[in-house]
Structure 1
């Protein structure tokens, strides 16, 4: 069942869409996301028997390695969730980060956790739409936000990345996707993710082609997302009574159906998970190989 008219993703509508999903309450998400950094995006299972916490930390490390971060660099993040990637980058790579988000609930958590970890001097969380990003940075990163941008806004996003990225800067976009263009399931669009649109890889590439970016790396983590969702489903099932007490039985059934359906979608290949790394077309300071991504385990201290 496909929805012929997905919700718009303009400035005002985007805030309403995000509020619908991400401002349900931090206590709800704490029940079933990882305990390490509250990641609500695909984890990276370097080994099949990794825990959810290990795999989410590995995902953060994998992203940092792809961005080739070094101490003193500046990073801008479009859509920061509960701030876990920003904290990981600051804590482990010595970079300074500006993170944009329009979810008040998420930002309240992110700021409190950043203070607790003593990272206030390295991270600035900004309650604003990604379209209002200002400044030039060594890295541009967005994990799990492109699904909410809307393909009509891809040229504007491309322009934003172009002006935000220093001449030798690297960008990484991490997004749910499709093997071919297809609208979001109407039930998911209405009940769970209003305004969402997972792009095909060809649609994804429009962002790069619009400003002559060079694509450096494309990775598909589809099966990693199926395993992530399975872990979320296990956690959610253990806390169903609590969820029902917080909301109601209808809400619990809807979210159980959403998680189970998503597992099936990634296992059958109707959904993909793309990580795309790119840079300015004339940047010659780009990595020549991917070898450095795999020299050591992504989370040796947690394996």
Structure 2
């Protein structure tokens, strides 16, 4: 098992896709067939042939991507191969509009055409994305200064107002609890797990993550914690049950709030945990601890200082906190397909950008940890479970939805495994709060 985890026999993260019914899955892998057939090849008006200009543009795109070891088959039967070696996968482009979309905007064009079945991947989707990832990363970093400036400018064009934040949350998180239950762990934790042992189950690793967060925060019975963005409520309930703290938890997703309240009542924790349907900007009260896991990437770059003001306002003089967020090594705009189809309003910040939450208010950052490989492993589990339930997803939605989420999960595995995305955990305190450990040794001791 390598650190990238693309061929884990136990978890089975090899991802078969499209018209690959004749291909055998790797031992222990889950091979999924699409229940409906993808659209037949289309000959566009004016003939189905591929022009020399179109072929040249496609070859140019492949060169920009570093000539990844893939094979492309066009709708008229023409083939392009970047290497004589065995390709990682075969990509079938079924019509001219799919090709033109790919040439105009590679990420958005591929994502949409793949979801619609107009681009079909024969072979392992993960291996295809891994082969292309290196070229995409080189392309993205070829002019770091200019691209960083563009990314910062784009991130400031639209602020996530409370109304826009609510709409963005509804787009992704209010799909239905039943859908997420098909592939998340039993507690519906939709953030990266912590694999203290690589062989942990997903359920064990998510419990380990929640304990890891609580131990970093040094929670003590009777303390009052505020959580910004609580998902399905697992961490808030875990803190109350195992650490004896009171929790006020804020979230904009109506479905998640109602689910969390039902669970708190069923588990007898509703006297300790209050789930509030509201924006983090409206947090009220004074708290010993602030925690946010997986919310910062949805806050919007323009609002980091405002988040710092909220923390400053609600945290007691000896308070402490933890922020856990997807991020990047350097500022860059989010993948356009992910931003448009999956996470509208999202922005994974560079570490230096995250400091805008803490520095203006004088917070002392004590510890920063990058857990990206843990998130890659988490996503492998999610992808495996999702593929095993694709037929049920198709019955709930449709085949384009099935393919869209398959691509999103597979692409996320590759992004974290290759270092395109990071996962930061940041612990901070008021500057005068010195009742802290001098080392991390206590974190790794058994509770």
Fold conserved between structures, TM > 0.5: yes
Match of 1:126 in 2: 276
CA distance in 2, matches of 1:5, 1:162: 28
| Residue 24 (structure 1) aligned to one of 170, 175, 192 | 175
Take 2:384 and 2:167, find their aligned partners in 1: how far apart are those partners? 29
Choose from 184, 188, 198 the match for 1:33. Answer: 184
How far the C-alpha of 1:284 sits from its partner, in A, is: 2.2
Q: Which has the higher contact order (CA 8 A, sep 6+)?
A: 1
Show the counterpart of 1:287: 437
Residue segments in structure 1 that go unaligned for 5+ positions in a row? 298-303
What is the Cα-based RMSD across aligned positions, in Å? 1.3
C-alpha distance after superposition, 1:125-153 (max 9, x if no partner)? 10100100011111000000000001110
Offset at residue 5 of structure 1 (A):
4.7
TM-score by length of 2: 0.65
Equivalent runs, 1:99-178 vs 2, <5 Å: 99-178=249-328
Which stretches of structure 1, 4 residues or longer, exceed 3 Å deviation after superposition?
1-8
Check conservation: 1:170, 1:279, Cα contact below 8 A: yes
Distance 1:134 1:238 in 2: 43
- TM-score normalised by L of structure 1: 0.95
Q: Extract unaligned runs of 5+ from structure 2.
A: 1-106, 109-150
Describe the SS at the equivalent of 2:258. helix
Q: Give the structure 2 partner of residue 182 of structure 1.
A: 332
Once the two structures are TM-superposed, the CA of residue 233 in structure 1 deviates from its matched residue by 0.3
1:2-17 mapped onto 2 (5 Å cutoff): 5=154, 8-17=159-168
**Alignment coverage as a number of residue pairs:** 296
Q: Please point out which of 341, 353, 372 is paired with 1:222.
A: 372
Residues 8 and 14 in structure 1, CA contact (< 8 A), matched pair in contact too: no
Secondary structure of the corresponding residue to residue 124 of structure 1: strand
Deviation at 1:165? 1.0
Distance 1:177 1:67 in 2: 21
Q: CA deviation at 1:271?
A: 0.1
Deviation, structure 1 residue 174 = 0.3
Structure label with greater radius of gyration: 2
